[in-house]
Amino acid sequence: MRRMFVLTLLVVLVAGSAFAQAKFPVRQINIVVGASAGGTSDTVTRFLAKDVEAQLGVPVVVTDKPGGSCSVAFEYMASQRPDGYHLMYMPVESAMVKALGFTQLEPKSVRFFAHAMFLPATVTVNAKSPWKTFGDLIAYAKANPGKVTVGNSGTGSIWHFAAVGIEQACGVSFNHVPFDGGAAAATAVMGGHVDVATVAPGEVLAGVKSGDLRVLAIVDTKRSPLYPDVPCFKELGYDVKILAWGAFAAPAGTPDNVVAVLEAAFAKAIQSQGFKDLCMKYGLTPGYMGAKDAQAFAESQAKWYQEEIPKFNLK
């Protein structure tokens, strides 16, 4: 009885994998997201998955495996069979986790096949604060080193580095206060518990609309479509290149023909009008890159973080 069962199972597995090599895709594709449901990573992935599903004609299922700044999902994906059916949404953290000591994996360990978007940090203060411009804030911070409290989305998170990057570029020193996620930091600014939050544009949108928050600057080379009146860092004369981003990758060793199929499908989805509209709503910057460029970009990011993170002296 059991023997029969194992035998059947083997036959099915072998037949299935032989078939898969011939044609891709033939069954359900899974994409893991290293964050919780409802966040930017999750929303972006689910949105693109729907588009890719329609193009490829197989179900594309998104699963959240949060934990350790995406390292849990990263390790899971990297250990899957490289057949193109196990993909992952790669956030900027995937280039940081090795330097942070969370896992041994880095962008080099996997195959990127598409880059989707960038996400800048904002410098947001309470609307009742005396700082009307970014210059006001920096002038105050220079006069009172260590007095300005800056909320971020967690120690070692990308928005923490954004704040550290601002410190270095402007020659000031902040009191960094980590919160559990960007929304919590934005809330704390609204309640007047911290002075500044360096979090994503979408996370402060509600507060800005209600008149509780004021965005002083966008940490990017261009303005954010959500806040067209707010100057970007380049205009202000600073050069900070700490940006969040999102891309997609498959395990190392995924065959070229499979990667080509995925690349084409995601290229179409990412460049669609629907995705551009979504980016607009969340304050993201669409930025498609193909497999080669995405891989090179992620690796250059990883190299940079591996040099910089030890300097930041987090611990």
Partner 1 sequence: MDWIQAFLGVFQPQVFLYLVIGVVSGALIGTLPGLTATMGVAVLTPISFWLKPECGFAMLIGVYNSAIWSGGISAILINTPGTPASIASTFDGYKLTQKGFSALALNINTIYSVLGGLLSSLCLIFFAFPLARFALKFGPAEYAVLALFGLTMMVSVSGSSPVKGLLVGFLGLLFSTVGLDSIQAYKRYTLNNPALLDGLNFVPMMIGLFGIGEILYQIYTSEAKETSMVAEVKGAKQFLTLKEFGRLAPANAMATIISVIVGAIPGAGGDIASIISWGQAKRMSKHPEEYGEGSLEGLSVSCIANNAVIGGAMTTMLSLGIPGDAVTAILIGSLMMYGMTPGPQLFIENRPFVLTLIAQLIVANLVILIFGLTTNRIYPKILKIKKTTLWVVVAMCCIVGAYAINNSYVDIITMALAGVFGFILRVMDFPQGPFILGMLLGKLLESNLRRALSLTMGSYSIFFTSPICIVLLTISVLSLVWPAIKKRLKKRAV
Partner 2 sequence: MSKAGLLFVSACIAVALLFMIPAFKFPGGTVDGTPGPGYFPILVSSVILFLSAILFVQYLRDNKKYFQQNETQKKNLPKLLITAGAILLYTILFMVIPFIPLTLVFMVFLNWLFGRTWRFNIIFSVIFTGVIYYVFNNLLHVML
From the CB of 235, what's the least distance to partner 1, in Å?
A: 26
Do the Cβ atoms of 129 and 222 come closer than 8 Å? no
Is residue 5 near partner 2 by the rule CB under 8 A? yes
What's the rounded Cα separation, in Å, for the pair 50 and 73?
21
Give the up-direction half-sphere exposure of residue 210: CA atoms within 13 A in the CB hemisphere.
9
Closest CA to 215 of 233, 202, 203, 227: 227
Pairing of strands 244-251, 86-91: antiparallel
Which of partner 1, partner 2, none does 305 bind, CB closer than 5 to 8 A by kind? Answer: none
What's the rounded Cα separation, in Å, for the pair 151 and 122?
12
Closest CA to 220 of 236, 209, 203: 236
Q: Site mask, partner 1, residues 86-115, x = CB under 8 A?
A: --------------xxxx------------
Q: What are the φ/ψ torsions at residue 89 (nearest 5 degrees)?
A: -80, 120
Binder of partner 2 out of 20, 56, 58, 63 (CB under 8 A): 63
Footprint of partner 2 on 138-157 (CB under 8 A) = 146
Among the listed ranges 127-135, 150-158, 163-171, 241-249, the one in contact with partner 1 (CB under 8 A) is 150-158
Footprint of partner 2 on 231-250 (CB under 8 A) = none
Number of residues that bind partner 1 (CB under 8 A): 57
Is residue 202 near partner 1 by the rule CB under 8 A? yes
Which of partner 1, partner 2, none does 5 bind, CB closer than 5 to 8 A by kind? Answer: partner 2
From the CB of 178, what's the least distance to partner 2, in Å?
A: 11
Is residue 62 near partner 2 by the rule CB under 8 A? yes
Number of residues that bind partner 2 (CB under 8 A): 10
Q: Which two tokens stand for residue 36?
A: 């919780």
- Cβ closer to partner 1: 67 or 231? 67
Closest CA to 98 of 87, 110, 86: 110
What's the rounded Cα separation, in Å, for the pair 37 and 59?
19
Is residue 30 near partner 2 by the rule CB under 8 A? yes
Sign of the Cα torsion 137, 138, 144, 145 reads positive
Is residue 209 near partner 1 by the rule CB under 8 A? yes
Beta-carbon count within 10 A of 61 CB? 13
SS3 assignment, position 201: helix
Binding site for partner 2 (CB under 8 A): 5-6, 9, 30, 61-63, 146, 175, 315
- In the complex, the residues that contact partner 1 under the rule CB under 8 A are 32, 36-39, 42-43, 46, 50, 62-69, 71-72, 74-75, 100-103, 149, 154-156, 175, 177-180, 183-184, 186-188, 190-194, 202, 205-207, 209-212, 278, 281-282, 314-315
